[in-house]
């Protein structure tokens, strides 16, 4: 089944330059990442384009907040949002944009539009995905990635909420087993991309599309209720299996 993916990587101030070059395709060649096809980079698009250099975007938000910055403070978080590649590739172009816009809306509501400074969708790789970068400022203007992201239990809630949000619009998506339960180690992005190249999924899309069209006719409040009830049933099955 196709999966929705949400992953976050913390970065200190010195990493912004390299991250910007990758996200904004500012390099002439990417020998370290053979998945990138620069001839298709024109297909990439922004949900939110940066207004300046990444380090200036980060610095201006921190300065405006007048918050305390420690030597070990996390200055930005790079969020990877994706789905099983066959799922995204099977969607019409407008639906692909809707998928990433819908994911962006989730992040905007969680962390605040003002903290997001870039959200770019890469369509020039085997696995279409979005990199959304934000400064981890709390509502009372403190720089605290720990408070924004929380511990493993908090990240489990993030994943549940993200899945619920995405499933309501794209009902063929699966939640996947949370790492907090499976104890799997975090996969680097390149390894993740390699392990999601599974052509078997392509055969399922016609069935999924029929289900999706029927699901889209269901009013959103009913969708949300169905998704929440299904989540509770899965959690109950997991507890009973232990």
Instruction: Copy the structure tokens of residue 131.
Output: 């990199």
What's the pLDDT tens digit per position in 44-100?
999 999 999 999 999 999 999 999 999 889 999 999 999 988 888 888 889 999 999
pTM of the model: 0.73
Q: How many CB atoms lie within 10 A of CB 91?
A: 18
> Which CATH code is given to the segment(s) 4-241?
3.30.930.30
Percent of the chain with pLDDT over 90: 44
> Do the strands 4-11 and 129-134 form a parallel or antiparallel pair, or are they unpaired?
unpaired
Delimit the domains of the chain by residue range.
4-241
What SS3 state is found at 122? strand
pLDDT at 181: 45
183 has pLDDT over 50: no
152 Cβ partners below 8 Å, 6+ apart? 179, 180
Handedness of CA 28, 34, 39, 44 (dihedral sign): negative
Region 8-34: mean pLDDT is: 82
| pLDDT confidence bin for 242, thresholds 50/70/90 | low
């Amino acid at each position: 089944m196709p999966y929705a993916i949400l992953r976050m990587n913390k970065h200190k101030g010195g990493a912004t330059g390299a991250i910007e070059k990758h996200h904004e395709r500012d390099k002439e060649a990417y020998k370290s990442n053979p998945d990138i096809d620069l001839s298709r980079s024109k297909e990439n698009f922004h949900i939110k384009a940066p207004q300046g250099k990444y380090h200036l975007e980060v610095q201006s938000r921190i300065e405006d907040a007048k918050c305390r910055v420690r030597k070990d403070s996390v200055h930005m978080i790079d969020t990877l949002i994706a789905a099983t590649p066959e799922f995204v590739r099977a969607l019409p172009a407008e639906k692909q944009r809707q998928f990433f816009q819908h994911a962006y809306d989730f992040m905007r509501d969680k962390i605040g539009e003002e903290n997001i400074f870039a959200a770019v969708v890469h369509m020039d790789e085997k696995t279409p995905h979005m990199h959304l970068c934000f400064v981890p400022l709390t509502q009372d203007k403190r720089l605290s990635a720990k408070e924004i992201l929380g511990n493993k239990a908090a990240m489990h809630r993030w994943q549940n909420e993200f899945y619920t949000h995405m499933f309501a619009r794209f009902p063929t998506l699966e939640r996947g087993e949370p790492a907090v339960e499976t104890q799997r180690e975090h996969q680097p992005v390149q390894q993740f991309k390699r392990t999601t190249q599974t052509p078997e999924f392509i055969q399922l899309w016609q069935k999924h599309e029929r289900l999706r069209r029927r699901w889209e006719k269901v009013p959103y409040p009913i969708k949300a209720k169905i998704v929440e009830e299904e989540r509770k049933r899965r959690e109950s099955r997991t507890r009973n299996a232990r």
